[in-house]
Amino acid sequence: MSAVHVLTARLIGDRRPTAARVRVEVVGPPAPRLRTRRAGLAVALGLLAVAAVQLLTDQAIRHEWVPLRDPIYFDKLELLHNHPAFFAPDPGRPLTVLCVGSSRTLNGVNAAALGPALSAALGRPATAFNFGQAGAGPVTTAVYTRRLIAAGVKPGVVLIEVHPVFLAGQRSDPPETRWLMPVRLRPEELPLVRSWGFPADDPPAHGLRGRLAPWYEYRFLILDRYAPVLLMGGRLNAGHEPDAHGFVRVAPVPPEESRVLLEMTHRQYADYFPLFRPTGCGVEALRDTLERCRSAGWRAGLVLMPESSAFRGWYNQDGLKHCAAVLAGLVDEFGVPLIDARTWVPDELIGDGHHLTGAGADVLTERLARDALAPWLRTPPGPTP
């Protein structure tokens, strides 16, 4: 078929010599060169669209318009915003208690119960929130404390968990490197954690690859946030979904299962027990947290969370003495209390040697309010050291 067909027809019923004629043109396919240009334009527009989406995603992550850099932190901060007392000025607000630390804190302090217990003991309104995070050792806690201060959080009291194993400094890979991935840190936070001695290389997501291909660099986090059904291995924070006050209640653990979990726990930390010494980056990060709290006017206290008798027996005893000396120095330097709750909960309520079951959390929370926090908070804060 030619490019243009011309069909001529007389109008029906018109016999005059000057009868009107109808000219109909049927346009065929374009020339090959024109098709090539159109295809090239379509490809170019498609590439521009992809590049625009990538660049926009990069900006959204860098400016934290979307919670993809450290979603666990942002989810907890969003939950904390539901408790406006933590952002209100001091006059007229209830006593606010913020708990920070690892999953030991996350599973161990029932903040919804801690507030009413303190209210009853002190005779004044009180509310508490658990900002504990799975795998959050002293470095993560120090980073989060700085972020929370910048976000306008104003707790009256902050309880800072001390996880002794996370203070270990006899190896070049402190335990926290297993959980705190550099990609979770803001670019300006990397020099900070390095100054404490935490090994953190610049992740590709912070460089050119992150700008040009954030959908690749953050692919798991994007799926976790927006399409979890596509994940094969489960969600990032699966099993650690908190209640309205940030607490995660653990189900009872049968004795036979507890023995298996205890063995797994020992394997997880075995490399850090024999020559245990609290000389690592965790000590510097803990000091930074106390300094930030003092500068922000947060009344701080240190807490050693419960451990089973088996867990406590794994430490190098000379290392424990050294740890006690380090903590005593911080207590003296910053004028803060040290709450030693390591033996407060019986072994059968500690599921794997250092994470409390729900019943264990009830025991700890009640005693924490009655025997530690209420006597401390009845005493007016002393002068800043």
Q: Please check whether residues 31 and 115 belong to one and the same domain.
A: no
Determine, yes or no, domain membership for 348.
yes
Range of the domain at 265: 70-199+240-377
Q: Please check whether residues 107 and 254 belong to one and the same domain.
A: yes
Determine, yes or no, domain membership for 65.
no
Q: How far apart are CA 233 and CA 30, in angstroms?
A: 51
Q: How far apart are CA 269 and CA 315, in angstroms?
A: 10
Q: Please check whether residues 31 and 128 belong to one and the same domain.
A: no
Distance in angstroms between the alpha carbons of the first and the last residue of the chain: 95
Beta strand 4-10 pairing with 21-27? antiparallel
Q: Please check whether residues 108 and 248 belong to one and the same domain.
A: yes
Beta strand 126-130 pairing with 95-100? parallel
CB atoms inside a 10 Å sphere around CB 213:
17
Determine, yes or no, domain membership for 222.
no
Structure tokens at 334: 């910053």
The DSSP result for 299-333, as a single string, is EEEEEE----HHHHTTS-HHHHHHHHHHHHHHHHH
pLDDT at 384: 56
Determine, yes or no, domain membership for 255.
yes
pLDDT by 10-residue block (mean), the chain, 385 residues: 43 48 58 83 89 88 89 95 93 93 97 97 96 95 98 96 94 91 94 96 91 88 84 72 96 95 95 91 97 97 98 94 97 97 97 96 97 92 62
pLDDT at 240: 80
Secondary structure letter of residue 164 according to DSSP: G
CB 356 within 8 A of CB 253: no
Q: Please check whether residues 320 and 179 belong to one and the same domain.
A: yes
Number of domains forming the structure of the chain: 2
Q: Smallest Cα–Cα separation from 364: which of 376, 374, 356?
A: 356
The DSSP result for 263-304, as a single string, is HHHHHHHGGGSTT--S-SHHHHHHHHHHHHHHHHT-EEEEEE
Determine, yes or no, domain membership for 59.
no
CATH code for position 251: 3.40.50.1110
| Token pair 């707790």 in the structure block, residue | 155
pLDDT at 201: 93
Helices (H), 84-235: 103-108, 111-122, 138-150, 189-196, 208-212, 214-217, 219-226
Structure tokens at 46: 């498609």
Q: Please check whether residues 149 and 88 belong to one and the same domain.
A: yes
Which residues is 35 bridged to in the sheet? none
Q: How far apart are CA 163 and CA 139, in angstroms?
A: 11
pLDDT at 21: 54
pLDDT at 383: 61
Q: Please check whether residues 175 and 91 belong to one and the same domain.
A: yes
Structure tokens at 141: 């806690």
Determine, yes or no, domain membership for 216.
no
Q: Please check whether residues 253 and 283 belong to one and the same domain.
A: yes
Instruction: Dump pLDDT digits (tens) for 154-185.
Output: 999 999 999 999 999 888 899 999 999 999 99
Q: Please check whether residues 44 and 101 belong to one and the same domain.
A: no
Q: How far apart are CA 95 and CA 362, in angstroms?
A: 21
Amino acid, single-letter form, for residue 317? Q
Q: Please check whether residues 74 and 184 belong to one and the same domain.
A: yes
pLDDT at 9: 43
| Token pair 């927006």 in the structure block, residue | 226
Q: Please check whether residues 140 and 15 belong to one and the same domain.
A: no
Q: Please check whether residues 40 and 77 belong to one and the same domain.
A: no
